[in-house]
Structure 1
Amino acid sequence: MLGFIQRLFKKSRVELYGLDHAVLNIQLPPQTMWMNMGYWESTTHFPDACRALLDRVLSTADILKDQDRNQSIRVLDVGCGCGDQSLHLTSLRRGVLTQNQSETAEASGFQDSSDAAPSLRSQKSSSLINSYIGITLEPSQAALAKSRVQEKRAPENALADSSVDIFCADAANPSSWSGDLQNSIEKLAASSTTPESATWLLALDTIYHFRPSRLPLLQFACHNLNASYMAFDLVLADNISWFQRFILQIICWFLGAPFGNIITKDEYMRLLVRAGYEPEQIEMQDISQHVFGGLAAFLGRRVQEATPFGLKMGKYRGARKVFDWWARTGIMRGYVVVARKSR
């Protein structure tokens, strides 16, 4: 017993002057809780890359162009996470940029002032997103997202004039929705039939997780909500080897994603058509070159930065290897997918 106490005291004395107190200097709560693969074309900063991926999806769907200022835009966001994309979407404003803001937007890589970052838009204009419903499967994420949205929408800190609701539910199974979520969905469906309203289903780096497949949600969105679809999603390359397919199956098991969801571009197109979307209204853009490599490089840097302080990054070491493999081989592709609902 005495020997144990001596060893414990000696160990404590050594660690007292180490680097593990770094955890006391980390800012809590963190300012952001983004979690997607990111769009790394113009940044090496994780939150900026995550926000850029969402903006890339919105731009492809023409939402940031704000072409019809009288149209009511409604968003059902599945896999909304901890509220960062909820806050970002509900902070989007209608309006024009000043000359200085336009120059800033061009310097940030936007080709047209109408594509400019939402944070550069006039704060005196109305909300671009009039109604927002976010769904996440994780209770802890839903609780955090709700609290963050409520804080930002407090009277003294008003963020937007749109309707915002966040729920904990299984987005992959619309038939399981009930209570307040079902009531919100019914209101969304009722307003989706008017020509003044545009409804969108948003799935940002999440829908490949849905069990048993994407199809039930896509059919519900198309037929029950008359909603267009915008997403960042994973797409399988053509003609991969049996060994690569086997490795991907193992990776999907660790990701908690059904391997049946990993399909080729042509199969994805057929899935959307089966859900009810017209082929000529479907757009798929491969942005892999600005996703996997940038994320792998960031994770590598973060592991190196954390190691001297004894911060554990175990699962992210494995993730870095996976994303680097995808970037080098091209067997997995990252696509922006937009399917517009005919009206």
Structure 2
Amino acid sequence: MPSPIFLFVVSLPLLFRLVPMVVPEAYLEPYAWWDAKTLNDGQVGWRNMGWWETTDNFSLAAEALAGKLLDFADARPGGNVLDIAHGAGESLALHLSTQPPPVNLHALTSLASETRQSKDLVASRFPDTTTQIEWFTCSATYRTGRDIDHPLNPMRGFLGEKKRAWSDEGEDDEGDDTEEFEDEDVASAGPLRYDLVYVLDAIYHFKPSVSYFLAQVLPTLQPGTGVLAYTDILPPPKINNVLGHLVLPPLLSVPARNLMSRPKSLDEYKALLERIGYEGVEVQDWSDGVWKGFASNLSRRGGLWRLVAWLVSVAERNGWKFIAVRGRRPADTGAGSLVGE
């Protein structure tokens, strides 16, 4: 008769598949259980892998990566910005610190706790901002028929919903913290077109797949000038099927398609965006400035962080890449094509 340990081990893949079916999605969010200030100095709440070329301090490295991606985007300043997966709000502060700051800043996260933290951060650091800020607590990808007020909904603004903008009076979520525009011309003006859609160290979590999300973003960009800029983790060309389909997705909170159905090289990655409809596509490998410094910082913390550091080092040795990607919407384009879906 097989031992209990053996039965437990062989049943793990099935358990990993069943858990998401019975546990509410909010409880499976890894960032719901990770205080944004854990790795920081207590003053800021960055939560990304960092850019380590000139520092060994986590907060400074994380801020450097955020700034490097913003510079890489090279988007028109003072326009309309959508920041997806903004965490505790530090990247929002980065946008508001630019000169000129955005006219409109849309902030999306899947966690209500992060929306609250970000509102508090913006209110404390930018009490007199003139930027119109709109908050969204929902999935990164627009789900047809479910997220009518989603910023990536191509019909948003045409369906009679009221336009919302955050009022920086310091109210909490239980109060009336939105200003509603009743003017018909404003409310029915259609969806806002973005000069920049910015996604820092998060896109690999997005369901159902990265390519699906990329296609959704394209028609929301300003024709001819709107830019999507993000960082991604590109797996090696070959991953064990059991790991890629059953083990890693629940452990990393990553859809299997974002592990198993990915471009095999940077050139293939660029071609993917071009097939979807982006132009001026640029894909850069930033692995050397991320993996080693991130692993070294975690290792010095000891405990379970040392195990995470070891896993990061193993990923680097096995060909996982940390990349930055930029693409622009052409002057005349329709909706993106759901390549590979």
TM-score after normalising by structure 1 = 0.66
Given candidates 133, 141, 154, the residue that maps to 1:164 is 133
* Partner residue in 2 for 1:57: 69
* Partner residue in 2 for 1:113: none
State whether structure 2 residue 147 is matched by structure 1 residue 177. Answer: yes
* Partner residue in 2 for 1:333: 321
The letter for the 2-side match of 1:30 is: G
Assess, with a 3 A threshold, how the Cα gap between structure 1 residues 297 and 78 changes in structure 2: closer, same or farther: same
The letter for the 2-side match of 1:299 is: L
After TM superposition, the structure 1 stretch with the greater mean CA deviation from structure 2, 129-138 or 316-325, is 316-325
1:78·1:202 contact (CA, 8 Å) conserved in 2?
Answer: yes
The letter for the 1-side match of 2:321 is: R
* Partner residue in 2 for 1:42: 54
1:33-182 equivalences in 2 (<5 Å): 33-63=45-75, 72-93=78-99, 127-154=100-127, 158=128, 160-173=129-142, 175=144, 176-179=146-149
The letter for the 2-side match of 1:91 is: S
Gaps of 5+ in 1: 1-25, 94-126, 193-197, 304-312
2:85·2:108 contact (CA, 8 Å) conserved in 1?
Answer: yes
Please tell me the root mean square deviation across aligned C-alpha atoms, in Å.
2.9
* Partner residue in 2 for 1:260: 257
Matches of 1:220 and 1:206 in 2, distance apart? 16
Gaps of 5+ in 2: 1-37, 157-162, 166-186, 332-341
State whether structure 2 residue 294 is matched by structure 1 residue 295. Answer: yes
Deviation above 4 Å: which 4+ runs of structure 1? Answer: 179-182, 184-191, 245-249
Matches of 1:205 and 1:294 in 2, distance apart? 16
The count of aligned residue pairs is: 253
1:231·1:336 contact (CA, 8 Å) conserved in 2?
Answer: yes
Assess, with a 3 A threshold, how the Cα gap between structure 1 residues 76 and 322 changes in structure 2: closer, same or farther: same
Identify, as 1 or 2, the structure richer in helix. 1
* CA radius of gyration, larger in: 1
1:37 is displaced (CA, Å) by 0.8
Matches of 2:218 and 2:164 in 1, distance apart? 17
2:84·2:140 contact (CA, 8 Å) conserved in 1?
Answer: yes
1:328 is displaced (CA, Å) by 2.9
1:325 is displaced (CA, Å) by 1.1
* Partner residue in 2 for 1:273: 274
Matches of 1:246 and 1:216 in 2, distance apart? 24
* Partner residue in 2 for 1:218: 214
